[in-house]
């Protein structure tokens, strides 16, 4: 079965009690129920994003050049500010404006390096959209990821237009959430640095 790279589960420490708050935060950050966009817009976003990912991963680039291209894809298709706020969780409320900006920028670059490197293994994977369904205050674009002759893996993009145009704010494979996984990673960094956000930003930039 084809697996995308963020499937490893994380052990939550002091942040495990806040997992319920994550769902509430996503709901609060989502747009109102009356959609300014439709299922076709969300589906187009997913197809375009995967086409760009495939193009970049097949370009032969590596290192900084690859990561810059992958970061541009994130900026174009992902609602990184919403994801950053969600993964930082309760600490976002106590962060200064400068820390919020610094964390969002560092988190964006961290995502580009982490997934830009790992997604090279999936340049021959196709995404076949099966459904685009309104759920609560966003749209779930459900698809199958197929690589070679392997069995398909279920992939779901959670898409909203909160930023003014369609963007995905989470990506789930076989029920495992990228946003929740990264929330665990960031939570572990905060535990390591005793809640020091500046130290977490430095870690993300290193």
164 in a structural domain: yes
pLDDT at 3: 45
Tell me if 147 is assigned to some domain.
Answer: yes
Look at residue 21 in the predicted model and tell me its pLDDT: 44
- What is the number of structural domains in the chain? 1
Residue showing tokens 């205050």: 137
The span from the CA of 1 to the CA of 152, in Å, is 6
* Assigned domain for 23 exists: yes
Whether 6 maps to a domain, the answer reads no
Range of the domain at 86: 18-29+37-205
The CATH number of whichever domain residue 159 belongs to comes to: 3.10.450.710
100 lies in some domain: yes
Average pLDDT of the chain, as a whole number: 82
Question: Which is it for strands 167-173 and 153-160: parallel, antiparallel or unpaired?
Answer: antiparallel
Q: Is residue 185 part of a domain?
A: yes
Assess if residue 165 is contained within a domain. Answer: yes
If pLDDT is split at 50, 70 and 90, which confidence band does 145 have?
A: confident
d(CA 177, CA 85): 15
Give the tens place of pLDDT for each residue, 156-177: 999 999 888 899 999 998 788 9
User: Cα 133 to chain center, whole Å?
Assistant: 19
Query: Quick check: is 4 in a domain?
Result: no
Q: What is the pLDDT of residues 29-47, one digit of tens each?
A: 443 344 457 899 999 999 9
Q: Characterise 106 by phi-psi region: left (phi > 0), alpha (psi -120 to 50), beta (else).
A: alpha
| Through-space distance between the first and last CA atoms of the chain, rounded to whole angstroms | 33
Tell me the pLDDT tens digit for each residue of 80-135: 999 999 999 999 999 999 999 999 999 999 999 988 877 776 677 888 999 999 98
The neighbour count for residue 99, using CB atoms within 10 Å, is 17
């Amino acid at each position: 079965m084809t697996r995308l790279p963020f499937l490893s589960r994380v052990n939550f420490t002091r942040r495990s009690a806040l997992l319920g708050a994550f769902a509430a935060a996503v709901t609060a950050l989502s747009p109102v129920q009356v959609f300014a966009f439709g299922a076709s817009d969300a589906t187009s976003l997913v197809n375009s994003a995967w086409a760009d990912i495939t193009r970049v991963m097949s370009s032969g680039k590596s290192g900084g050049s690859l990561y810059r291209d992958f970061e541009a894809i994130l900026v174009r298709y992902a609602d990184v500010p919403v994801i950053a706020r969600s993964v930082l969780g309760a600490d976002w409320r106590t962060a200064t404006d400068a820390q919020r900006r610094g964390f969002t920028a560092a988190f964006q670059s961290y995502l580009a390096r982490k997934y830009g490197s790992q997604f090279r293994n999936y340049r021959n994977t196709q995404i076949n959209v099966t459904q685009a369904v309104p759920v609560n205050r966003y749209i779930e674009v459900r698809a199958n990821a197929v690589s070679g002759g392997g069995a398909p893996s279920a992939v779901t993009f959670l898409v909203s237009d909160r930023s003014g145009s369609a963007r995905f704010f989470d990506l789930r494979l076989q029920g495992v959430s990228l946003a929740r996984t990264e929330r665990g990673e960031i939570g572990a960094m905060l535990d390591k640095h005793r809640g020091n956000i500046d130290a977490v930003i430095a870690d993300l930039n290193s």
